[in-house]
Amino acid sequence: MTKPIDQQLGCLQEISMALDPLVSIITPTYNHENFISECLESVLAQSYANWEQIVIDDGSTDRTAKIVSKFKDDRIKYIRQDNKGILRLGESYNLALQISKGEYIAVLEGDDFWPSDKLEIQIDAMRGSDAVLSWGRAEVMDEKGDLLAVLPNDMERFMGLSREEQLGNLLIENPMHSCTIVCKKVALQSIGGFKQPQGLPFVDGSTWLELGLIGDFLPIDAVLGCYRRHDRQISSTMKSSMVRAGLYFTEFYKSLPADVKASLAHEDNDIAARMDRKTREIDYYLGRAYLREGKWSDARESLLKAIKEDNLPSIKAKAILGILCGLLRTDLEWLAAFIDPREGRR
């Protein structure tokens, strides 16, 4: 007797899932009641069905837990922990990594979401590649879901890069949004899991740097994630910590073996100078961040260091203006953007 069509489709889906590698989706969340539904719905809508989503709730005090409980799908695993805070974010990521059963690891924070074909595109691409990680373009959205930008605006320049060129890009300015990334679990395990530098509120750039030392990345010219920009996220509330991340990248570069530095210099003979400039300018950008946070004495101290440092005249001039802004109890953003529109609101 022929099975009903819905049973036939169910059997086909089970066969397909058995053949497709499992993707473990790591979703850290904290007080994301306004966004977590769209996050989970975007995973449920994936055309690629063989996934598990591990939601690590860092002690949310809003309705996040109640909202997640409404999603009745065995592939969604919800774990609530006492609040550890952003400076222990790596522990949440690595807890999810330890629990995960997938061959691939994807990252989707609780305030972000995915296009429906994201996993299908990336897993198909990685099946035929030795790359340890794939990534693509991200749509940047505001709190209401309105599109602000699509980044990077030119993926072509990241295609076909050598490992050294790939690593150089990460050191100077990481072009990859975490919501677009899928990586091989075995590669993550080989570097000891996700890396969170002490005292810094992120795990992404530091982890991708470590992976960049052991394998190639696969850029894909497609929108593979939707990144939410809002006032409560860490990049908005901890500006000075994000600026201090620049010091981590320069120290990472300095710690590289001589042969790796030499290979980087072969691909980009200006990289040492660019890293040195990044180090010298850090006090100016740290001072700007402190102004935005209203930490006037810290801002003045950093900006004075920037003036004393062997910096470009333009940096010194903006640092002086920053000190004046501090005396007036205002930030430097409007003036910095007026002087150099490319700077915007860093």
Enumerate residues 6+ apart whose C-beta is below 8 A from 107.
25, 26, 178, 179, 181, 204
Query: What would you report as the CA-atom Rg of the chain, rounded to the nearest whole angstrom?
Result: 22
Q: What is the pLDDT, as a whole number, of residue 292?
A: 87
308 vs 335: CA distance, rounded Å: 21
Both tokens assigned to 293: 């946070």
Question: Residue 97 in contact with residue 197, Cβ under 8 Å?
Answer: no
225 vs 245: CA distance, rounded Å: 23
- The Cα-based distances of 1 to 4, 5, 7, 25, 121 in angstroms read 9, 12, 12, 39, 37
User: Does residue 341 have a cis bond before it (omega within 30 degrees)?
Assistant: no
Q: What is the pLDDT, as a whole number, of residue 275?
A: 86
pLDDT digits (tens, 9 = 90+) for 287-308: 888 888 889 999 899 899 889 8
- pLDDT score of 179 more than 90: yes
Q: Which segments within 93-164 are labelled E, that is strand? A: 104-107, 133-141, 147-151
Specify the DSSP element, H or E, that contains 148: strand 147-151
Fold of 5-235: Spore Coat Polysaccharide Biosynthesis Protein SpsA; Chain A (3.90.550)
- pLDDT score of 145 more than 80: yes
> Which of left, alpha, beta for 71 (phi over 0: left; psi -120 to 50: alpha)?
beta
Residue 18: band (very low, low, confident or very high) from pLDDT cuts 50, 70, 90? low
Q: What is the pLDDT, as a whole number, of residue 335?
A: 67
Residue 338: band (very low, low, confident or very high) from pLDDT cuts 50, 70, 90? low
Reduced to 3 states, what is the DSSP secondary structure of residue 256? coil
Q: What is the pLDDT, as a whole number, of residue 334?
A: 67
Specify the DSSP element, H or E, that contains 291: helix 271-293
274 vs 332: CA distance, rounded Å: 24
- The Cα-based distances of 121 to 38, 47, 128 in angstroms read 20, 10, 12
- pLDDT score of 233 more than 60: no
The average pLDDT across 113-127 equals 98
71 vs 41: CA distance, rounded Å: 9
pLDDT digits (tens, 9 = 90+) for 39-94: 999 999 999 999 999 999 999 999 999 999 999 999 999 999 999 999 999 999 99
249 vs 108: CA distance, rounded Å: 24
- pLDDT score of 237 more than 70: no
Q: What is the pLDDT, as a whole number, of residue 20?
A: 96
Compute the residue count for the chain: 346
Residue owning tokens 């999810």 = 96
Q: DSSP letters along 261-278, please?
A: HHHHHHH-TTHHHHHHHH
Mean pLDDT of the chain: 89
Q: What is the pLDDT, as a whole number, of residue 333?
A: 79
**Burial of 234 per CB tally in 10 Å (0-12, 13-18, 19+):** middle
319 vs 285: CA distance, rounded Å: 9
Reduced to 3 states, what is the DSSP secondary structure of residue 136? strand
Question: Residue 220 in contact with residue 142, Cβ under 8 Å?
Answer: no
Q: What is the pLDDT, as a whole number, of residue 12?
A: 46
Question: Residue 39 in contact with residue 69, Cβ under 8 Å?
Answer: no
Residue owning tokens 């429906």 = 116
Neighbours of 151 (CB within 10 A): 16
Tell me which of 6-10, 130-134, 135-139, 172-176 is least confident: 6-10
Residue 9: band (very low, low, confident or very high) from pLDDT cuts 50, 70, 90? very low
Q: Which of 37, 28, 161 is nearest to 106 (CA)?
A: 28
pLDDT digits (tens, 9 = 90+) for 270-291: 898 888 888 888 888 888 888 8
250 vs 277: CA distance, rounded Å: 10
Domain spans, the chain: 5-235, 238-339
Question: Residue 325 in contact with residue 335, Cβ under 8 Å?
Answer: yes
